[in-house]
Structures are given as C-alpha cells and as structure tokens.
C-alpha cells in the first residue's frame, strides 16, 4: 500500500506530493500547522486542534483554505486511505504561492494546504513510558510569538538535534530569568514535593498545547491539584516528577535532565495515572 497525501484538493501518492518553490511556507515559513493523535481508530481532541488552527490563522491573517466541515472530510479521507488506526495526521496551511516579496501577496492568493498521516508503533511509546526519557536544557532563543503554531521551527529543530547529540530525547528552553518555558515540541510539567502539578501559564512564552489543556481536565477529574506557575530549572531538578506532553506522546516521564537524575530515576505515579485516564476523557472523533 502506498502512502497518500492531500495537497491542495487532490489525493496524491506521498512520493509525488509537492508544493511550488515559491510557496510562502517554503520561502518565509509563512504558515501554520497542527499535529493530532489518532488512537484505536479515533482522532483525539479534534475540535480543540481545529480551534487552535483557527486562532493561528487569524493571528497571521491567513484565510481558511476550505471550510471546517470540508477540512474534516479531507482529514478523515487521508487517515482512511493510509489505514491509520494508531498514529497521527499532520496538517499545514500556508499563505500560498506568490512571487517572492516580503509583504503579503494579493488578497485573492489561495492558501496552500497539505495533510499527511502516518502510523506509529505503540510499543515504542510504551517503552519510553516504562523507562522514562532524558532531556537537556537550552537557552530560549525563539521569537516572542511561540503561542502561534507556525512552521517556523528552526530553533526547535536545532534544540532537538542538540538533545540527540547529547544522548537525550528532548530539549527544554529556559528563559532569561532562569524559568522553564517549554520543550522543543512539548509542554513541560513538574510535580512539587507536596504533590501539586505545576506548568507554566500559557502566556506568549509557550504554545498552549492541546494535550496540556486536556490534561487539566484529566487532573481535575482525578482530583490532582494543579497550578499554572512558572518554575526554575533548580526547582524542576528537585521535583518529585517531571514530564512532557504533546499530541504525539501524550505524557512522557523525564528521568534525567542535564545529567541529573529526577527523583529516584524511575517514572512517577502521577504521570502514569494521567496517561491511563487521558484517552477516556479526551474528545474522540471516529475516522
């Protein structure tokens, strides 16, 4: 079975899928994206992901490439054609194709849209959850509108590469005040010594993760106390538990940061409880 991608209204073989060389996504990173998990044949938290897409598009004044209902049809079709039961879809909208010029092109320029989907191996995720993963910290060096989910991810990619070269799986950005912002592609959480769950407020310093939002619902249901509060690296290193969240990984425990062991070096119980309850509480849309 060959992989299929959706590109500007057509379903094409993944190997042949392409956008124009003057697409503004390619030239200026002038576009936004979403990544959404698919589990047991259901799309997880689709409404919240599309609401955030709407916000990102509004912030950049890019038009919707099609209406929301038509977009959902295309997403489902890509998932079906790729036979994804467990995995994800990736959706990207750019300002479209225009002769290279920094200012916005004519208002009638059609936005470009691409949707891809892939299956993931649940056993790889299970292994990471059982063993925990490692992270490094890096200085925050991104622009101050990381709350918009744009495809301008070069600092994130460089940070992830730095983590990989250090034998870790995630890089955590630290702002000029020594406070944790977020991971290269995740939000960061810690459990304080009194059992309170802490995560940075969703101001302009972080992306408001959909997993982060739903995790707050999960914590409320499990009666875990939670506070939106920024924390320092030192406080994080002394935490009972540290974990990261994203649609692709839900909630991975961190057992080592910058070579320091977190707690006893094993994944903690709170992230486990949250992970166990997450799928039941999240919105599920059938494919």
Would you please indicate which residues are annotated as catalytic (active-site) residues?
149
d(CA 243, CA 133): 9
Residue 8 vs 186, nearer CB to ligand PDD:
186
Sign of CA dihedral 125, 232, 262, 221: negative
Query: CB neighbours (10 Å) of residue 178?
Result: 13
Using the contact rule CB under 6 A, the part of the chain among 54-62, 64-72, 104-112, 210-218 near ligand PDD is: 210-218
Q: Report the distance separating Cα 183 and Cα 165, nearest Å.
A: 16
Residue 210 contacts ligand PDD per CB under 6 A = yes
Please state the closest distance from residue 98 (CB atom) to ligand PDD, in A.
26
Geometric angle at alpha carbon 159, from 14 and 274, rounded to 5°: 80
Site membership for ligand PDD, residue 207 (CB under 6 A)? yes
Q: Does 245 bind ligand PDD (CB under 6 A)?
A: yes
Q: Which stretch binds ligand PDD (CB under 6 A): 79-87, 133-141, 182-190, 267-275?
A: 182-190
Q: Interface residues for ligand PDD in 35-94 (CB under 6 A)? A: 35
In the shown chain, the binding pattern of residues 18 to 37 toward ligand PDD, with x for contact by CB under 6 A and - for none, equals: -----------------x--
Query: Smallest distance from the beta carbon of 23 to ligand PDD, in angstroms?
Result: 19
Of 4, 191, 218, 247, the one binding ligand PDD by CB under 6 A: 247
Total number of residues that touch ligand PDD (CB under 6 A): 15
Using CB under 6 A as the binding rule, whether residue 8 contacts ligand PDD is answered as no
Q: What are phi and psi of 125, to 5 degrees?
A: -65, -45
Distance of alpha carbon 115 from alpha carbon 15, whole angstroms: 14
Contact 14, 116 (CB under 8 A): yes
Smaller CB separation from ligand PDD, 216 or 238: 216
For the packed helices 269-281 and 210-221, what is the interaxial angle rounded to 10 degrees?
A: 100
How far from the centroid of its chain's Cα atoms is residue 65's Cα? 21
Q: Which stretch binds ligand PDD (CB under 6 A): 57-65, 129-137, 204-212, 270-278?
A: 204-212
Among 31, 21, 24, 28, smallest CA distance to 106 is for: 24
Q: Which of 82, 129, 137, 211 binds ligand PDD (CB under 6 A)?
A: 211
Does 169 participate in binding ligand PDD (rule CB under 6 A)? no
Q: Which residues bind ligand PDD (CB under 6 A)?
A: 35, 156, 182, 185-187, 207, 209-212, 245-248
């Amino acid at each position: 079975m060959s992989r299929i991608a959706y590109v500007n209204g057509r379903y094409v073989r993944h190997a042949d899928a392409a956008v124009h060389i003057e697409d503004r996504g390619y030239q200026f990173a002038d576009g936004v994206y979403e990544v959404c998990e698919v589990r047991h044949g259901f799309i997880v938290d689709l409404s919240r992901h599309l609401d955030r897409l709407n916000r990102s598009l509004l912030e950049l004044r890019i038009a919707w490439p099609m209406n929301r209902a038509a977009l959902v049809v295309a997403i489902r079709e890509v998932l079906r054609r790729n036979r994804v039961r467990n995995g994800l879809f990736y959706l990207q909208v750019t300002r479209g194709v225009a002769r290279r010029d920094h200012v916005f092109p004519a208002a009638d320029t059609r936005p470009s849209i691409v949707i891809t989907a892939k299956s993931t191996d649940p056993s790889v995720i299970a292994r990471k959850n059982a063993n925990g993963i490692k992270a490094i910290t890096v200085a925050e060096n991104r622009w101050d509108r990381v709350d918009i989910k744009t495809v301008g991810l070069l600092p994130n990619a460089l940070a992830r590469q730095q983590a990989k070269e250090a034998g870790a799986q995630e890089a955590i950005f630290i702002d000029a005040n020594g406070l944790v912002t977020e991971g290269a592609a995740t939000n960061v959480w810690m459990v304080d010594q009194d059992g309170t769950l802490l995560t940075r407020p969703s101001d302009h310093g972080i992306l408001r993760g959909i997993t982060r939002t739903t995790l707050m619902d999960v914590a409320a249901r499990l009666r875990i106390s939670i506070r939106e509060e920024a924390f320092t690296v030192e406080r994080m290193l002394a935490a009972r538990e540290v974990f990261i969240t994203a649609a692709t990984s839900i909630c991975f425990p961190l057992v080592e940061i910058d070579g320091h062991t977190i707690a006893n070096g094993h994944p903690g119980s709170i992230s486990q409880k949250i992970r166990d309850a997450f799928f039941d509480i999240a919105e599920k849309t059938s494919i």
